[in-house]
Structures are given as C-alpha cells and as structure tokens.
Amino acid sequence: MFRIGDVEIQNRVVLAPMAGVCNSAFRLTVKEFGAGLVCAEMVSDKGIVYNNEKTLNMLYIDEREKPLSLQIFGGEKETLVKAAKFVDKNTNADIIDINMGCPVPKITNCDAGAKWLLDPNKIYDVVAAIVDAVEKPVTVKMRIGWDDQHIYAVENAQAVERAGGKAVAVHGRTRVQMYEGKANWDIIKQVKEAVNIPVIGNGDVKTPQDAKRMLEETGVDGVMIGRAALGNPWMIYRTVRYLETGELIPEPTPREKIDVCLLHLDRLIALKGEYIAVKEMRKHAAWYLKGIRGAAKIRNAINECETRDELAALLLQVAEEAESRAANAEAV
C-alpha cells in the first residue's frame, strides 16, 4: 500500500495509461483483477478546453474503477491548466496525471509528451501552475530522457516534486528508443533515491517475477504494467498475488480467456455501441487469443467481424476446440 497525496493505493500494481486501449471497459476489467490503481488513456488538453464531444466522452469513469488517474497531454501551460481545472471540477477521477512520456511524433511535434523532458525548468513551471489550480493530486508520467545525450530523469523528477507533484511514474526508456531495446532500471533507481514522493517504475515488466525484481532492484513504490496486460488481465492478478504471498498462480485456461474477452466486449459495446466496439475489439481479441493453439487460423475472420454475434461465435469456437483437445489428451 502507498499514497498519492490523500489517495490510498491498496497494492503496488498499477495499470499503465495506454492510448487507444485504456477506456473504461478495459480499465474496469483490469480493476476487477486486482490492480491497485488504473490509469486512463491520455486525453488532449485542447480537446477538453474546446469541448470536443469525442474527447469529453473519454472522461467517463465508472465508480467501480476507482481509484483512477486521468491523464492529460498538451504542449502549452495555459491549456494544460484549463484542462486540469475541468478534470478537477467535472470528473470523478482521483488523480490528474500529466503525460511527459509519449514518444509519438504527432504528439512531440506539438511540444507535448516526451518533448517536456528536455527542460526541467519548464516542467517545474507547468506542474506548479497545475498544482496551484486544482485540488486533486497531480502526478507526472515520464521517460528517463529524450535520447542518450539528454537523460534528465533525476532533475525532471525533482522539478515535479519541487512544484508540488505527488508522484512520478518513470518508463525506463528514452524517447528515441520508443518501445525498443531494454528499459534502464538503474536510472529509475536513481530517481527513487533522489525524491521523497512515490515513484512508480515502468518498462520490461512482463511477468510477476519481473515486478518483484523491479521492486527489489530499484526500491520503487509501485510497478506499472502496460503491454503485458493486453488481452491478459491475469498478469495483474498473478502479480498482485505473487507480490503478496509469493505464490505463482497458473496461467488462465483458453475458456477463462474467452469468457473474460466476451465480458470485455459487452462492456465496450455498452460504452461505444456495437459497430465501433466490435471494430475496436478485434485487436483485443487477437491479444486474448495469444498462446491458444489453433487461434491463428481465425485471426483473419476476426478482422472481418462487424457484429457481436459473429465475434462471439468465433471466440467460443476457439474455446470449444481447446477444451476438446484437452479432453482428448487426458483420455490418452
């Protein structure tokens, strides 16, 4: 357990904010698997300020997801402050997070995301202004640096703390690395040693054992899990259990995977309507099916699905075939 401002986080496992993934349907599913904190996908400050309907819909939070951190991004102090004030007053988020880690060019070209990492003074200035304008705790998610020549993780985290930020999450890669190469946990450790606010480590946590190793090697307060949870909320549950008891729970059966995939699908339909939800769910279905024998042959058919019934029939077919194989293997 640790605290971010006055928000109590029940365990040390945090769902990362992943663009195009972390909507309410996915977050609630992961929350039910035991995540101490879930983070919403990044939302544009200008989209909020200019009342863009699609953007405002992204601010929806189911009470069952809480505690929840809602992330905003932007490249200008004025609009970030306005957006933070809107989130503070008009949403039931518990924490306001500022994205200073997104490496995608269309974000960094607007001076947003990882572009902030080049100037600790600018980070101090914007975080201080946001902290001053809102009541909810303010945090920052960042990378260790822009490239190998510009690694200011310690200075940037100290700037966040000095400005009144209540926690910092650090992805152990530079902007130039994107999602390639190895995450540098040594720099995450340096950040933890340099500040007194909670530090959440992120990068290369693919198994419950990785999570334990990150906690032990870096001393961070929490571990953030991103891509390893795609189609696999069991990664969250297995990690929480492993950290608390040392017990490694078995991987889910194909039937368990399909059942949760269908629950996720129905939640997404309730959130966005069948047409959009089924299209979005295709990528999630591929993630849920990963590792299930015989699933590869229906991938193309999944990408053609336009209705809930079509997608559900394919998924249930995979589950039944897997169960039949397992029964035959036992009989031999």
pLDDT digits (tens, 9 = 90+) for 20-58: 999 999 999 999 999 999 999 999 999 999 999 999 999
Percent of the chain at pLDDT > 90 equals: 90
Beta strand segments in 81-221, E: 95-100, 138-145, 167-174, 199-202
pLDDT digits (tens, 9 = 90+) for 68-99: 999 999 999 999 999 999 999 999 999 999 99
Percent of the chain at pLDDT > 70 equals: 99
Q: Does pLDDT of 312 surpass 80?
A: yes
CA distances from residue 124 to 116, 166, 197, 299 in whole angstroms, order as listed:
10, 13, 15, 47
Q: How many Cα atoms occupy the beta-carbon half-sphere of 11 within 13 Å? A: 22
Show the domains of the chain with their CATH numbers. Answer: 1-243 (3.20.20.70), 252-329 (1.10.1200.80)
DSSP annotation of 251: P
Residue 16 labelled as part of a binding site:
no
pLDDT digits (tens, 9 = 90+) for 127-182: 999 999 999 999 999 999 999 999 999 999 999 999 999 999 999 999 999 988 89
**Catalytic residue from among 22, 39, 102, 305:** 102
261 counts as catalytic? no
- Per-residue pLDDT, 299: 85
Q: Does pLDDT of 332 surpass 60?
A: no
Residue 17 labelled as part of a binding site:
yes
Residue 105 labelled as part of a binding site:
no
Compute the Cα dihedral for 140, 146, 151, 152 and give only its sign. Answer: negative
- Per-residue pLDDT, 219: 98
Nearest-angstrom CA–CA distance, 134 and 184:
33
- Per-residue pLDDT, 323: 80
- Per-residue pLDDT, 146: 93
Residue 141 labelled as part of a binding site:
yes
Q: Does pLDDT of 223 surpass 60?
A: yes
Q: Which residues of 144-162 are buried (b: 16+ CB within 10 A; e: fewer)?
A: bbbeeeebbbbbbbbbbbe
Residue 67 labelled as part of a binding site:
no
pTM greater than 0.85 = yes
Query: Which of these, 21, 323, 26, lies nearest to 315 by C-alpha position?
Result: 323
Beta bridge partners of 139: 97, 167
Q: How many Cα atoms occupy the beta-carbon half-sphere of 330 within 13 Å? A: 6
| Range 258-273 average pLDDT | 96
> Confidence band (pLDDT; 50, 70, 90) for 230?
very high
**Alpha helices, DSSP H only, in 15-133?**
24-32, 45-49, 53-57, 77-90, 105-108, 120-133
